[in-house]
Amino acid sequence: MQYRRFGRTNLQLSVFSLGTMRYLASEETAIATVRKAVCAGINHIETARGYGNSEAYLGRALQLGLGCPREALHITSKLPPTPDGQQLEQWLDESLDRLGCDYLDTLAIHGLNTPQQLASIQGENGSLAAAERARKAGKIRHLGFSTHGDLDLILEAMRTGAFEFVNLHYYLFFQRHQPAIALADALDMGVFIISPADKGGQLHHPPKRLRELCKPLSPLGLNYRFLLSDPRVSTLSVGPATPEELDGVLAWGDRLDPLTATERDGLGRLEQEFEQRLGSDACRQCYACLPCPEQIQIPEVLRLRNLAIAYEMESFGQYRYRMFENAGHWFPGRRGNRCTDCGDCLPRCPEQLDIPRLLRDTHARLAPREGRRLWQED
């Protein structure tokens, strides 16, 4: 396992971090998962108030012992944005109690997704003021934020100067947030990549065509190499539900060198396939089509179409498309069938795409069938 400096926190984090949203099957399984991760060299564990029993299970693992002192581990928990600083302080005390810890190495404001949330935490009695009081009291050591928001919001939050790190979505198949990576580097902020395996494309179970294009690497391996070959990326989340799910992942934590010729060839094949299969219907993700009068998140809808057609990632596309209209500010926007053919987006598209046609086509390919259980975010 290799380690990288987490921006101006100056913490040296393992390049894989243990995310604990999925290790909720039982306390016993959770403890075994934490122990295996720590044994493999992971020294950063991330939990959250909203992750069910996660904080309590991690607290029990710490109480029973992990073969190293508490000071050798870096623990992050996450709390929702709130304009009520006293509420945040109460939540923090509850998290520390469940964890059995005197302090958090890092606290993240969890789900800073809207301009309204960003404005609300900056008030005189808001979350940022409460976090600063907690820092002075020794209850937290560093502050950051996690986000599912749009790029402009992310950059605005980073420029406040209030945060030392950012948790965000950025992957081989979603590079929209590259400017946030660049700004984090300029501001000396740590970069924590959220769910590169699952949200990055359900890469633990890739389709056959994608596997063929990425050979001799796996799609997951190529995604990890794309991320970890970039020295601006500090650490990647790995979120196993069981200890066994760590197998085959952690070995990639030894590889921080630049991309090899073989790996670059794999990226080249992906790009060539993209061009050949999508042709003049390819959405280049410029986002010039927004805003949509019907609140359709056009670029994301068409990105899922791109992946389904270019790499046969229909299952991933269906998984993400189901989230539209069901996840609130965690995944905003409406589905492609909401298009009214108003034509508002057409003159703004530099590729001159027939956007209404492509939205309807995406809906036909990816829409949930009646009776299917919809995804929801806590």
Point out the residues that are catalytic.
51
Helix, strand or coil for residue 208?
Answer: helix
Burial class (CB in 10 A: 0-12, 13-18, 19+), 267: middle
Q: How far is CA 107 from CA 1, 61, 127, 191, in A?
A: 24, 20, 11, 14
CA dist 197 and 215 (Å) reads 17
* Backbone φ and ψ of 190, nearest 5°: -70, 150
Structure tokens at 265: 């060839």
CA dist 208 and 217 (Å) reads 13
Structure tokens at 377: 């975010």
Burial class (CB in 10 A: 0-12, 13-18, 19+), 365: middle
CA dist 23 and 56 (Å) reads 12
Strand positions, DSSP E, 194-352: 235-238
Closest CA to 294 of 340, 327, 262, 253: 340
- Residues 274 and 306: beta-carbon distance below 8 Å: yes
CA dist 60 and 99 (Å) reads 7
Q: Any residues with CB less than 8 A from the CB of 296 and at least 6 apart, and which?
A: 333, 334, 335, 336, 338, 339, 359
Strand positions, DSSP E, 80-208: 104-109, 140-146, 165-168, 190-193
CA dist 326 and 2 (Å) reads 38
Structure tokens at 72: 């050798």
Of the CA atoms within 13 Å of residue 302, those in its CB half-sphere come to 24
